[in-house]
Chain A
Amino acid sequence: MLTEPNALRKADALPPPVTYGDHKAQPVRKTRNTKVTPEATAKRMAWVVQVYAVRDNKDRKAFAELFGYFAPRVKSFLMKSGASPDLAEECTQEVMATLWNKAHMFDPTKASVSTWIFTIARNRKIDILRKQRRPEPEDLPWGPEAEPDQVEAMGLQQETEQLGQALATLPAEQRKLIERAYFGELTHSQIAAETGLPLGTIKSRIRLALDRLRHAMK
């Protein structure tokens, strides 16, 4: 179980990610045509385990590994969003420190570690670069916090990997448009007017998290 961080410390200790137990409960996945390797999912699950190690044991080694992988990408995102190198460096360190502090709020059945860190970085960007408040939606009344289910968590990690692969295999021009939208080079009206933006493609090819979220909200 993921409640014991050490049990999943090594990626190769993971069970094969394609094992869902009950295939009938997961009919949507059978229609997917993007292949996701077990290694790619294992890598994402390893990040989850590292966040858990930070949360439960204040594990500096696990944090250093997350830092080594994510900090240069957070910095890149912030610089592409318009931050100077110095400001991006400072914000990146704050984002990673926030990861440490908010590790208890991470839920791998609702987000991949990459998604979660992105949202922290994005909020920091709005705060620092745009100097605005960020209104956040009301939290859902989830009821008593159950320990996230591992099969569900793995399914979500896998779907996010699938999303990443689908993005990576978009035609270069379309991918560029998506990136520009996230780096703030397109306003929402430009996004709306941009016929080359593959929003429909994203929606139809990847039904990421929808079923899970709906399931979780029942």
Chain B
Amino acid sequence: MMNDMKQIKHHLTEPLLMGYAAGTLPEAFNLVVATHISMCDSCRAALAEYDAVGGEVMLDSEPVDVAEDALAATLAMIDGGLPAEKPMPARAKDTVFPGPLQDYVNGDLDSLKWRKVGGGVSQLVLKTSKDASVRLLRIPAGTAVPDHGHRGTELTLVLQGAFTDEEDRFGAGDVEVANEDLHHTPVAEKGVDCICLAATDAPLLFNGLVPRIAQKFIGI
């Protein structure tokens, strides 16, 4: 998982890191952020800074009295034994899915229930809270994803392979942060299939009638 980190060129934005530290992003975005950080040391270090900012903001907030018996109640809770946390399932090493993503998918690339969405592209929508959505995309080498724009923010993290669009080339570990100004046509590089984790907080806008009709049915 750490092999590609030196080649990562496109990182998370400061607002995303801050939002993740603050705990205010939609779950779908948190998943992309946590997955990228699992692959990227510099964003991990930047996150530590934003966590520290949160700690200082908390320290400086006007203290609010706790209940008179709060300490006793907490000690009683400790003595009673806290409910055991659900043990995290063991995380595999030899997979294109970093740890946080493994908690959301059942199996590896070829055992997943991919759904074709046209043009050879397949997707798998992951279950998260409704304020945003996140999916895995499998784009065959050399294939283009239909030209589309965005109403909100779209985060696309490359897990395997690479794609190129009007902006740049995005390889494993790179994340593209697109907003409503960007209309792009990502094309997967030749070689291996491009696997991406893509999150959006609004439906994508496809240019062209057929994709728009298709969108109604496949829910991109």
- In contact, A164 and B27 (Cβ under 8 angstroms): no
Range, interface on chain B = 35 or more
Interface of A is mostly: helix
A10 contacts the other chain (CB 8 A): no
Residue of B nearest to A192 (CB): B15
A151 contacts the other chain (CB 8 A): no
- In contact, A136 and B61 (Cβ under 8 angstroms): no
Interface of B is mostly: helix
C-alpha gap A170/B37 in the complex (Å): 29
C-alpha gap A112/B57 in the complex (Å): 13
- In contact, B64 and A72 (Cβ under 8 angstroms): yes
Decide: A135 near B64, CB < 8 A? Known: A77-B58, A93-B77, A160-B56: no
- In contact, A74 and B57 (Cβ under 8 angstroms): no
Residues of B within 8 A of A76 (CB): 58, 61-64
Residues of A within 8 A of B34 (CB): 135-137
Residues of A within 8 A of B66 (CB): 71-72, 75, 89, 92-93
B67 contacts the other chain (CB 8 A): yes
Residue of A nearest to B52 (CB): A115
A167 contacts the other chain (CB 8 A): yes
Residues of B within 8 A of A184 (CB): 22-24
A214 contacts the other chain (CB 8 A): yes
Q: Which B1-43 residues sit within 8 Å CB-CB of chain A?
A: 1-2, 13-16, 18-19, 21-27, 29-31, 33-35, 37-38, 41
Given contacts A132-B129, A137-B47, A163-B53, 16 further A-B contacts (CB under 8 A): A89-B70, A93-B70, A130-B23, A132-B26, A133-B103, A135-B27, A135-B34, A135-B101, A138-B38, A167-B56, A182-B54, A184-B23, A186-B24, A192-B15, A210-B49, A213-B45
Q: How far is the CB of A161 from chain B (nearest CB, A)?
A: 9
Residues of A within 8 A of B37 (CB): 137
Among listed A15-23, A31-39, A121-129, interface-contacting one: A121-129
- In contact, B45 and A192 (Cβ under 8 angstroms): no
Q: Which A180-215 residues sit within 8 Å CB-CB of chain B?
A: 181-184, 186-189, 191-192, 199, 202-203, 206, 208-210, 213-214
Q: How far is the CB of B199 from chain A (nearest CB, A)?
A: 11
Would you give the 0/1 interface string for B69-81, flagging 1 where the beta carbon is closer than 8 Å to chain A? Answer: 0110111011000
- In contact, A164 and B18 (Cβ under 8 angstroms): no
C-alpha gap A29/B103 in the complex (Å): 40
Residues of A within 8 A of B26 (CB): 132
- In contact, B41 and A199 (Cβ under 8 angstroms): no
List 21 contacting pairs A-B, 8 Å CB cutoff, sorted by A. A63-B75, A71-B74, A72-B63, A114-B55, A115-B52, A115-B55, A126-B23, A131-B129, A134-B27, A135-B31, A135-B33, A135-B103, A137-B37, A138-B91, A160-B55, A178-B53, A182-B21, A188-B25, A189-B153, A208-B52, A213-B45
